[in-house]
Amino acid sequence: MNDEIKAVILAAGKGTRMKSDTPKVLHKIFEKPLLGYVLDNVKNIVSESFVIVGHQAEKVEEYVKKDYTTAKTVLQYPQLGTGHAVSMVCPELQNFNGQVIILCGDTPLITENTLKNFIDYHNSNNSDLTVMSTIFENPTNYGRIIREKDGSLKCIVEEKDAAQEEKAVKEVNAGIYCLNWAKIKPAFSQLKSNNAQGEYYLTDIIAWGKSQNLNVNAYILENNEEIYGINSRSNLAHATKIMNERKLNELMDNGVTVVDPSSTWISQDTIIGSDTIIYPATYIEGKNKIGSNCKIGPCAHLRGDVEVADNCKIGNFVEVKKAKIDHNTNIGHLSYIGDSELGSNINIGAGTITANYNPLTKVKSKTVLKNDVKIGSNTVLVAPVTVEEGANVGAGSVITKDIPKWALAITRAPLKILPDWVRNYLLK
């Protein structure tokens, strides 16, 4: 983190093509908002982030305030374009003399490493202003990077304002900028709105910088998928697939077996140890940590805030949420473990449920199973409840009280057998 670098993240747009009541930047990939990915990718680089909000500002503000202590929101109203959006932070950065990186809140695939390389390029070229660009064979909808005959950067032209010759250019604006703030700040009071949209374009700071004889450059990003923007549900699905493939390849490169990558989905914020096997049709979302030599799936669902130690099994059709599971514990199949703490050497029988939610009070309570506990099949553990070390619970039980060490707990009703009942019923 550098005290001399701050971030401005554009997150004020409506996202009309999403056709949603949810602000575009709060749509999720693996249960994490798009904006969260951008904020996370700058948090180790900058000392402070400013999120420009507009459409449904209160919802975006609530998310930022809840999850990011080094970020604050700045309202853009009315919304008069990207240049106008950045100008909203000028009062906040009145006396700031460092660098500002500008990003879009709907580009979750950008990486921290790319941003670091971008800033290094800016500094090594003694730039006053650097824009990130990339190459697309089909550059439709992107602003075009226009260069001088000597190859130096001239300006950026938005597609709606581009001449036919300019539209043929395949180098496009990636929407990420690095500015020496003190030198570029005056541009935001001098931008004009004489364009097809009648807006103040952020892209116009390039031509402004050139007119001021500042050192303006473009950094070409080789992997163009990193600046893939989310404007529709189709874009969201495509970005999710890219992010998932990226994560699965990373895991496999580090010693994790993914039996069927085509049916396996694992969040970017999940850590998995070597020699763990992920079986088909497994979906892991949120932030999790899974140890080594584990077996997960098939058809398992980890919903976030899950910690699994070494040598554990989370079997088929098991759902786990907000749980800590110690080593050598087995949850075989058809079970739900939520808001729970499980010790080591535990065996959970099929069909076990931790009943963690009271629908009347809307309170979620915790289930604690100590080391060496054995839970029989088709058991309901009604939280809050603790099963102490070594205790066994008989199959088919409903546990509503704490169970002491090494005890057997069982709530089975007496078995009744009525001879010839079926035959007599059918003969009536």
Per-residue pLDDT, 140? 87
Local confidence band at 302 (pLDDT 50, 70, 90 cut-offs): very high
Cβ neighbour number for residue 404 with a 10 Å cutoff: 13
pLDDT at 104 over 80: yes
- For the whole model, what pTM was predicted? 0.92
301 is catalytic: no
| 241 φψ region: left (φ > 0), alpha (ψ -120 to 50), beta (else) | alpha
pLDDT at 3 over 80: no
Model confidence over 32-52: pLDDT tens digits? 999 999 999 999 999 999 999
Local confidence band at 143 (pLDDT 50, 70, 90 cut-offs): very high
Per cent of the chain over pLDDT 70 is 100
Local confidence band at 1 (pLDDT 50, 70, 90 cut-offs): low
3-state secondary structure of 26: helix
What are the structure tokens assigned to 187, written together?
Answer: 């541009």
Per-chain mean pLDDT for the chain: 96
Catalytic residue (choose from 27, 84, 122, 333)? 333
> 27 φ, ψ to 5°?
-65, 150
Per-residue pLDDT, 2? 64
Local confidence band at 14 (pLDDT 50, 70, 90 cut-offs): confident
Nearest partner of 78 among 112, 95, 55, judged by Cα: 55
Bond prior to 33 in cis (omega within 30° of 0): no
Per-residue pLDDT, 160? 87
Residues 6+ apart with CB under 8 A from 78: none
Q: Rounded to 5, what percent of the chain is helix, strand, coil?
A: 25, 30, 45
Nearest partner of 31 among 63, 7, 57, judged by Cα: 63
Model confidence over 370-419: pLDDT tens digits? 999 999 999 999 999 999 999 999 999 999 999 999 999 999 888 899 99
pLDDT at 216 over 70: yes
Per-residue pLDDT, 422? 94
Per-residue pLDDT, 151? 86
Q: Which domains does the chain have, with CATH numbers?
A: 2-227 (3.90.550.10), 254-409 (2.160.10.10)
pLDDT at 26 over 90: yes
Residues 6+ apart with CB under 8 A from 87: 188, 189, 191, 200
Model confidence over 321-334: pLDDT tens digits? 999 999 999 998 99
Per-residue pLDDT, 287? 97
Q: Mean pLDDT throughout 307-331? A: 98
Per cent of the chain over pLDDT 90 is 93
Residues 6+ apart with CB under 8 A from 138: none
Per-residue pLDDT, 413? 87
What's the rounded Cα separation, in Å, for the pair 303 and 168? 46
Q: Mean pLDDT throughout 295-312? A: 98
Per-residue pLDDT, 374? 98
User: What per-residue string of b and e applies to 302-327 under the rule 16 or more CB within 10 Å gives b?
Assistant: bbbbbbbbbbbbbbbbbbbbbbebbb
Q: Mean pLDDT throughout 99-118? A: 97
Bond prior to 139 in cis (omega within 30° of 0): no
Nearest partner of 286 among 309, 302, 263, 310, judged by Cα: 302
Bond prior to 280 in cis (omega within 30° of 0): no
Among the residue ranges 6-10, 108-112, 341-345, 409-413, the one predicted with the least confidence is 409-413
